[in-house]
Each structure stands twice: as structure tokens, then as C-alpha cells.
């Protein structure tokens, strides 16, 4: 009788433990989805700040730190797609996981576009900076076309 109680208690503890770790995994995935969405949201103010300088024909050097920030965000971004994080409140398409090398290449292309923008802005060339900013926009859209669901 006593023995049976102990066995039941052990089974109970094991079940509770399994549940706890299952919940932890679910939380971790929600967290990583949230983190990568926050990462992308953070590109907005940088893009707007860059556009404002270009439109105002302002001091192009002010663009350099914004381009650097975009690159910093990009480097963190493509590591926020662990297996299983395709499930949940995410706009990332299954193609991210089925074609991870292509996805990472799209991210690397964007990173290269931010570098080119920083170089052009640092050189003070208005036309080259505007063109490089256009290429940044294309790099964003290029990835979204293949790897992100359309906003509804
Ligand atoms: C390498 C691919 C890739 C690149 C490059 C990229 N994005 Fe995205 N972006 C995504 C994916 C995937 C999502 C969906 C993330 C999710 O919902 O889990 C996303 C989501 C977003 C969102 C929505 C965030 C939210 O509120 O949930 C914005 C805004 C955004 N991107 C802006 C940009 C901008 C601006 C750029 C360029 C500076 C850019 N992205 C470059 C792949 C990319």
C-alpha cells in the first residue's frame, strides 16, 4: 500500500515535469517569434531616419550609424528561426525552414546593401546614397516576397 503510494507520487512528479518542460518549449518559441518581430519593427525608425536625411538633402554622414544599426539587427535576425518556431503567431513562411540557405543568403544580401549605403553616405555622394537606399528597400522586399506571408 505504502509502496504503491510512493510509485504513484513518482509517476505524478514525472508527469508534472514533462508538462513543465513542454510548456517551457512553447514559451521559448513564442519568445523567439516575438523577438524576431521586434527586431524587424526596429528597422522602421532606422529606415525613416535615413529617408528623412535623403529627402531633406541633409548631412549624409548622419545616415552611417542608422545603416550600421540595420546591419546589427540583420546579423541577429537570421539566427532567430529555430526549428519549431514556424508554429504560432508568425508571418514567416515555411520556405524559411525548407530553404534556410536561401533565407540566409537573402539576409546576407540585405547586410551587404546596408554596408553599401553606409559607404555611399560616408562619401557624401547624394545620388549614390539615394540609389543605395533604393537597393536596401529592394533587399527588404526581396526577402519578404519569398519568405514572409503578405500582411492581411
Ligand atoms: C532575410 C529576410 C528578410 C529581410 C532581409 C527583411 N525582412 Fe522583414 N521580415 C522577414 C520575415 C520572415 C518576417 C516575419 C517574421 C515573423 O512574423 O516571424 C518579417 C517581418 C517584418 C516586419 C513586420 C514585423 C512585425 O510587426 O511583426 C517589418 C515591419 C519588416 N519585416 C520590415 C523589414 C524592413 C524595413 C527590412 C529591410 C530594412 C526587412 N524587413 C528585411 C524577413 C526579412
Q: pLDDT, tens digit, for every residue of 20-45?
A: 555 555 667 889 999 999 999 999 99
- What are 38-44's contacts with CB under 8 Å, separation 24+? 39/73, 39/76, 39/77, 39/80, 40/73, 40/77, 42/69, 42/73, 43/70, 43/73, 43/140
- Per-residue pLDDT of 128-149, as tens digits, reads 999 999 999 999 999 999 999 9
Nearest atom in ligand 1 to the alpha carbon of residue 78 is 1
- Cβ–ligand 1 distance for 40 under 6 Å, the answer yes
Q: What is the rounded average pLDDT for all residues in the chain? A: 90
Q: Whose CA is nearest to atom 28 of ligand 1?
A: 40
Higher pLDDT, 17 or 111: 111
- Cβ–ligand 1 distance for 80 under 6 Å, the answer no
pLDDT of 81 > 70? The answer is: yes
Amino acid at each position: 500500500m505504502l509502496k504503491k503510494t510512493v510509485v504513484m507520487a513518482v509517476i505524478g512528479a514525472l508527469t508534472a515535469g514533462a508538462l513543465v518542460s513542454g510548456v517551457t518549449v512553447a514559451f521559448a518559441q513564442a519568445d523567439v517569434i516575438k523577438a524576431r518581430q521586434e527586431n524587424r519593427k526596429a528597422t522602421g525608425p532606422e529606415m525613416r531616419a535615413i529617408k528623412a536625411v535623403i529627402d531633406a538633402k541633409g548631412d549624409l554622414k548622419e545616415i552611417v550609424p542608422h545603416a550600421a544599426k540595420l546591419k546589427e539587427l540583420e546579423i541577429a535576425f537570421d539566427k532567430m528561426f529555430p526549428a519549431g518556431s514556424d508554429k504560432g503567431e508568425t508571418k514567416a513562411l515555411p520556405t524559411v525552414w525548407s530553404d534556410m540557405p536561401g533565407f540566409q543568403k537573402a539576409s546576407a544580401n540585405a547586410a551587404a546593401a546596408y554596408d553599401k549605403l553606409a559607404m555611399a553616405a560616408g562619401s557624401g555622394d547624394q545620388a549614390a546614397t539615394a540609389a543605395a537606399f533604393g537597393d536596401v528597400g529592394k533587399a527588404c522586399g526581396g526577402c519578404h516576397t519569398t519568405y514572409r506571408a503578405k500582411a492581411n
